[in-house]
Structure 1
């Protein structure tokens, strides 16, 4: 394979001149530049892009950590990130981790090794303590509300958003209310469960751990959730589901009796919720993705709160109390 020194020898110039031509350095004699470019073409020389990046101190590559890509929640975040990246001629490198901590560490290590300029973490399993050890190697933004940290954050108030959904059901007469989440130990689920517990206390309702359904995140998970609800001895009259996809799968899988009597609220306001007339909590995911990218280039650490709102549709029914 042709190397830089061979190009320099054949062009009759120094290796440093070839390097300056490759890096488009302005202070190169035009005749020498053309000669080097001609030899590069003749010898089919391909520069070592990693060496170029190492010398420049940047790669124009931004890492984005997501647990999986087959979900509109993360695809909308990626859309927002990508739209901003294009404006600055940056490229996106996706790390689909399935919440595997080793995969998440791989992304952080690439930042440390200067194979990435910056990192965006959309959702995580790894501890914040580990993430913060990598801040010195490049800017990191994260979709999470974190205080007293050097991490750049864009976030929503999961507690208040969940409380809004629960109160909406209460106002429509519901007292036997359940909720469905993904991972109980995630920061968003911890806030949502706290909202659910406080809601039960405030409204003098009985709190029961069995009313919290866990590990439901995909469209097909809605089918499994419907089976769990249908075999319950005391099925809820309403449920808050932490994602529109699962809420849609639930609605489509219910038997006729439950479909008539179970009220459902989803989260995110994806297109499917509008098609199925699902009440939902809108999360501006595309704008959050844009913020996560732009925060990487803020001179100081910034924390951006995004507002959510309830969109009332036909999946919540009034009941007599």
Structure 2
């Protein structure tokens, strides 16, 4: 396979001139440029992209760290990021990590090795301190509410959003309310659990661990949640679920009679919640994805909060006296 030096020798120019042609440098005359391109074509020379990127100092590649690609929550973030990336002539590289810290670290190492220009972290298992140590190699934005950080952050107030949903159910007479989260140790779940426990304490409602359900996120998890609910000593009259798809799976598992006597609130305002008329908390994930990308070009640290809104539909009922 031909290399850059061979192209330079046959074209009668220096390797530096060949590099300038490859990088569309303006200070190369037309005849020389045409001669170099002719030799490149004859030799079927394929430039070393890594070498070119090192010369340019950029790759036009943006890394996106996600745990799973089959969660609609993350696919909407990716859609927003990719949309604006395309407008800016950037390409995205997905790192699906399954919350494996080693794989998350690989993405950071690619930033360090200049194989990426910047990195967006949608959810993580690795420590914030570790992530911050890589900022010297390129900008990083993260979808999380973090205090006193040098990272760009875009976030929502999970505590307020969850508490607001619980208060809505309380006003409708509900007292035995279930709480459904995904990963118990994630920052969003920690905030949601805190909101749930504070809500119970404020209203003098006993905190029942059997009404706290974890590791539910997908549509099929709704069926498993239904089975778990049937086994509880105290059957709740309402439930707040941190995923619209799990809420939909639960809703579809209920009989017609059960649906009339059980209130469900989901999260994210996914299309499935609209189709099934499920009350939900709107999170503007697509817009958040756009903001995560835009933060990367900001020289000063930015922290952007997005508001959430409770969308009232037909899956919540006033408890009968």
After TM superposition, is the score higher than 0.5? yes
CA distance in 1, matches of 2:218, 2:100: 18
Q: Which runs of 5+ in 2 are unaligned?
A: none
Aligned position for 1:225: 225
Q: What is aligned with 1:288? A: 288
Task: Quote the residue 2:269 is aligned against.
Answer: 269
Alignment of 1:28-177 (within 5 A): 28-177=28-177
How many angstroms does 1:84 deviate by? 1.0
| RMSD value, Cα | 0.9
**4+ long deviations beyond 6 Å:** none
Shift of 1:256: 4.4
Question: Structure 1 CA distance, aligned partners of 2:126 and 2:30?
Answer: 52
Q: Give the Å deviation of 1:232.
A: 1.9
Native 8 Å contact 2:211 2:232 kept in 1: no
Matched residues in 2 for 1:172 and 1:54: separation? Answer: 62
- Contact map agreement 2:244 2:268 (CA 8 A) in 1: yes
The normalised TM-score by structure 1 is: 0.98
Deviations 1:26-70 (A, max 9, x none): 001211110001111111111000000111111000000001011
Pairing of 1:181-220 with structure 2 (within 5 A): 181-220=181-220
CA distance in 2, matches of 1:65, 1:258: 40
CA deviations on 1:4-44 (whole Å, 9 max, x unpaired) are 01111111111111111001000012111100011111111
Task: Give unpaired runs (5+ residues) of structure 1.
Answer: none
Which residue in 1 is equivalent to 2:22?
Answer: 22
Following superposition, the deviation at residue 210 of structure 1 comes to 1.7
Taking the aligned partners of 2:92 and 2:132, their CA distance within structure 1 comes to: 22
In 1: Cα distance, 2:126 partner to 2:98 partner: 12
Asked whether the equivalents of residues 156 and 305 of structure 2 are also in contact (C-alpha less than 8 Å), the reply is yes
Aligned length: 321
CA distance in 1, matches of 2:230, 2:259: 11
What SS is found at the alignment partner of 1:5? Answer: helix
Q: Distance in 2 between matches of 1:174 and 1:253?
A: 21
Which residue number corresponds to residue 305 of structure 1? 305
Shift, 1:255, TM fit: 3.8
- Aligned residues of 2:152 and 2:295 also touching (Cα < 8 A): yes
Deviates more, 1:270-279 or 1:122-131: 122-131
Normalized against structure 2, the TM-score is what? 0.98
The alpha-carbon deviation at position 231 of structure 1 amounts to 2.1
Q: 1:235-260, CA deviations, whole angstroms, 9 ceiling, x for partnerless residues?
A: 11000000101100111112444333
> Paired residue for 1:318?
318
